[in-house]
Amino acid sequence: MRNAARRALEGIRPDRVEPVVKLLDDAATYEWLTTARCAERRVGVFEAAGARHPLLDADAAGGLLAETFTPPPAGHDEAVALLYADYPEFHRLVAFPPDYTTEALRTDYDLAQAQALLYSATTVTVEARRDFKHVLRYARLARLLHHVERIGKPSRRPRRAAGSDGEGYRFVLSGPNSVLRRTRAYGVDFARFLAALVRLPDWRLRADIELRRGWRPFAFALNSADGLGKGVAAPPEFDSGLEEAIARKFGREREGWRLRREAAVLDVGGGSLLVPDFVFRHQDGTEVVLEIVGYWTPEYLADKLRRLSAVRGVHLIVAVPRPLALRAAELPATVLPFKRRLLLRDLLPRLEAFRPT
């Protein structure tokens, strides 16, 4: 186990040791005491030592520690480790992947560097020729502010999402260093998005980077051929707890309706696209799309409502938080206000209203 970790560190420059150690820590498995008694023991030892001050020899200190721990520690190092067992530096290494190679470490390091750089991005553009639906899903899972455009001549005809039909799509994402001004939580979300994106084929990314105000911005480019996606785990299936809850409660089929996620692409003019969260198709052929509008920045909400107002030729339900219900009332859609979650007793009647009488 130690030999594997040592091999991974071979040849690392001294100024890169700290981030590399962090990556190795992430790959390793540790165990530690979770009890709150560690702090209580330290206080007890310090109070007892203060009452016997000064402790002039090691035997006296050893005796004090022996009164605290059963069985007593074998030596000074073990006593300190037991006394501070809840501190990360005293966590015990119990496993390290034997197949974690220098190449794997280099890939993880390069990915981490790219993630850190995107913290200073103002705008990020991703173009994808395949796996369009997965790119969209990852952007939504990471809760990124984005809009989607089809590359090429737009059409206002509603389409099914192909995902592998060779068409190109452009995702324009607001970076952490844009309207949000280096919000750390949003930067973490962007890191999650990149870790998922690198798993996919046939994409390219361009980011406008502004490290500090007043500094000259520069462009950062990355693509699927750079190979940063090795060993990256897949993200969760749903974009939010709200979507997961409605999908779980509805099930695959209910009262003749079948549910599909992100199964349609709607052109809303100007080369802009909208991919609704859910598509409901009844066994009689009626199809209804559902878009859930959550709490975002005012600019993002305005853009989302503007694009929804351009939807034509489909049966559309827009679910919005109750404070937005009045703004959404002007949309060419059926509005479904919600408080904390979507309720089937509110959704099903709205679906049924689109069926032919």
Asked if 84 and 138 sit in the same domain, the reply is no
3-state DSSP assignment of residue 214: coil
Last residue of a domain, one of 201, 226, 251: 226
Element holding 137 (H helix, E strand): helix 132-141
Query: Residue 352: what residue type?
Result: E
Asked if 113 and 217 sit in the same domain, the reply is yes
Q: Is residue 235 included in any domain, yes or no?
A: no
Q: Give pLDDT tens digits for 113-143.
A: 899 888 888 899 999 877 777 888 788 778 7
Please confirm whether the linkage preceding 71 is cis (ω < 30° from 0).
yes
Q: Is residue 129 included in any domain, yes or no?
A: yes
| Residue 280: Cβ within 10 Å count | 23
* Predicted local distance difference test score (pLDDT) of residue 345: 92
Give the total number of structural domains in the chain. Answer: 4
Last residue of a domain, one of 78, 100, 122: 100
Asked if 68 and 23 sit in the same domain, the reply is no
Asked if 263 and 337 sit in the same domain, the reply is yes
* Predicted local distance difference test score (pLDDT) of residue 169: 84
Asked if 291 and 207 sit in the same domain, the reply is no
* Predicted local distance difference test score (pLDDT) of residue 295: 59
Q: Is residue 70 included in any domain, yes or no?
A: yes
Q: What is the 3-state secondary structure (H, E, C) of 73-121?
A: CCCHHHHHHHHCCCCHHHCEEEECCCCCCHHHHHHHHHHHHHHHHHCCE
What is the domain-level CATH number for residue 205?
A: 3.30.70
Last residue of a domain, one of 100, 124, 141: 100
Global pTM exceeds 0.75:
no
Q: Are 239 and 254 within 8 A, CB to CB?
A: no
Residues of the chain short of pLDDT 70, as ranges, are 1-17, 33-36, 55-62, 72-73, 76, 152-167, 179-183, 230-240, 262-263, 270-272, 295-297
Residue-number span of the structural domain to which 22 is assigned: 2-28+96-100
Asked if 206 and 124 sit in the same domain, the reply is yes
Place of tokens 């046939």: 202
For residue 11, with 0-12 CB atoms within 10 Å meaning exposed, 13-18 middle and 19 or more buried, which class applies? exposed
What is the domain-level CATH number for residue 323?
A: 3.40.1350
* Predicted local distance difference test score (pLDDT) of residue 305: 85
Q: Are 86 and 33 within 8 A, CB to CB?
A: yes
Query: CA angle 250-325-240, nearest 5°?
Result: 40
| Residue 165: Cβ within 10 Å count | 11
